[in-house]
C-alpha cells in the first residue's frame, strides 16, 4: 500500500457511498426500476450504475432494458425514487466527520459529487456534514460530470490548489476515473466490497488509523509552513 502524500494543497471528497451511506438509498430506487422492467438487480447491475450521474445511470439502465430512448423518463423516476429514500435519512460513514474536520484544519476541503445539487444537499444535511464544507460542487453545476474531470478541476480551482498537489477521496470507478483525469492523488475506500479499483492509496474505512495520522501530519506541516 502506498503512503499518502505530504505537501498537500487541498482535499476533495466524493459524497455518496464515501462520506454518507446513501448507496442504500440509490440501490432501493435502482432495484425498483429494474424490477419494474422485469430485471433482477444484483452486484452486476449495481456495478453498472454506481457512481454515475442520474442521467448516465438512467442511460445505462435504458440500454440494459432494451429501451435506449427512455433515458429521460428513467432519470426522472430514479431521481424521484432517491429523493424519497433520502427523505428517510442517511447515515454518515464511519470516520467521515473526523477525517473531514482534521483535513479542514490543515488545508482547504471541498465535496465533488455526481449527484445533482438537490440530492447532494439532502445527503450532507442528513449526515450532519453540511457545515463541514464551505465549497461543494454537484453534477448539475458543471458541463460534464464524472467520469470527466470537470468536478475535480472546478473544486481545485475554487480552493486555489493545484490538482497535482491535491488528494481525492473516492469509492467508485466512475469517480476514480474523474479524479485521475484531473490529475489528483486518488485515495479509495470502496463502497462495494470485493471490487478491484484503480488507486494510489486503498483502505477499507475512513476511520483507518493511517488516515487520522496522515491528517494530523498535514496539520503539523501547515503549522510549520511546509505547505
Q: Find all residues with CB under 8 Å of 209, minimum gap 6, and list them.
A: none
Provide the grid cell at 40: 433482477
The confidence score (pLDDT) of residue 227 equals 47
Half-sphere exposure of 197 (CA within 13 A, CB side): 30
Q: pLDDT band for 162, please (50, 70, 90 cuts).
A: very high
Half-sphere exposure of 61 (CA within 13 A, CB side): 33
Answer whether 119's CB lies under 8 Å from 86's CB: yes
The confidence score (pLDDT) of residue 56 equals 92
Q: Find all residues with CB under 8 Å of 27, minimum gap 6, and list them.
A: 41, 46
Please tell me the chain's helix, strand, coil percentages from 3-state DSSP, rounded to the nearest 5: 50, 10, 40
| DSSP secondary structure string for all residues of 141-155 | GSSS-TTSSHHHHHH
Compute how many other C-beta atoms are within 10 angstroms of the C-beta atom of residue 69: 7
Residue 125: asked if its preceding bond is cis (omega within 30°), the reply is no
Residue 2 is given by DSSP the state P
| DSSP secondary structure string for all residues of 34-97 | HHHTT---SHHHHHHHTT--HHHHHHHHHHHTT-GGGHHHHHHHHHHHHHHHHHT--PBPTTHH
Average pLDDT, the chain: 92
Q: What is the CA radius of gyration of the chain?
A: 17
pLDDT at position 94 over 90? yes
The confidence score (pLDDT) of residue 226 equals 52
Q: pLDDT band for 222, please (50, 70, 90 cuts).
A: low
Q: pLDDT band for 195, please (50, 70, 90 cuts).
A: confident
- For 35-69, write each residue's pLDDT tens digit: 999 999 999 999 889 888 899 999 999 999 999 99
Amino acid at each position: 500500500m502506498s503512503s499518502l502524500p505530504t505537501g498537500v494543497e487541498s482535499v476533495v471528497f466524493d459524497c455518496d457511498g464515501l462520506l454518507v451511506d446513501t448507496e442504500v438509498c440509490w440501490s432501493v430506487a435502482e432495484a425498483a426500476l429494474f424490477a419494474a422492467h422485469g430485471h433482477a438487480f444484483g452486484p452486476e447491475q449495481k456495478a453498472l450504475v454506481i457512481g454515475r450521474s442520474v442521467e448516465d445511470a438512467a442511460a445505462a439502465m435504458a440500454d440494459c432494458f432494451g429501451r435506449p430512448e427512455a433515458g429521460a423518463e428513467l432519470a426522472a423516476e430514479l431521481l424521484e425514487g432517491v429523493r424519497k429514500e433520502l427523505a428517510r435519512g442517511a447515515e454518515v460513514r464511519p470516520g467521515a466527520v473526523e477525517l473531514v474536520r482534521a483535513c479542514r484544519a490543515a488545508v482547504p476541503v471541498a465535496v465533488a459529487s455526481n449527484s445533482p445539487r438537490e440530492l447532494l444537499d439532502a445527503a450532507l444535511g442528513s449526515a450532519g456534514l453540511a457545515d463541514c464544507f464551505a465549497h461543494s460542487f454537484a453534477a448539475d453545476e458543471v458541463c460534464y460530470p464524472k467520469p470527466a474531470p470537470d468536478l475535480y478541476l472546478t473544486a481545485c480551482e475554487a480552493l486555489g490548489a493545484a490538482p497535482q498537489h491535491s488528494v481525492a477521496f473516492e469509492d467508485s470507478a466512475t469517480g476514480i476515473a474523474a479524479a485521475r483525469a484531473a490529475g489528483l492523488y486518488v485515495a479509495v475506500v470502496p463502497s462495494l466490497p470485493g471490487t478491484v479499483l484503480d488507486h494510489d492509496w486503498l483502505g477499507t474505512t475512513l476511520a483507518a488509523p493511517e488516515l487520522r495520522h496522515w491528517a494530523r501530519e498535514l496539520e503539523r506541516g501547515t503549522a510549520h509552513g511546509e505547505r
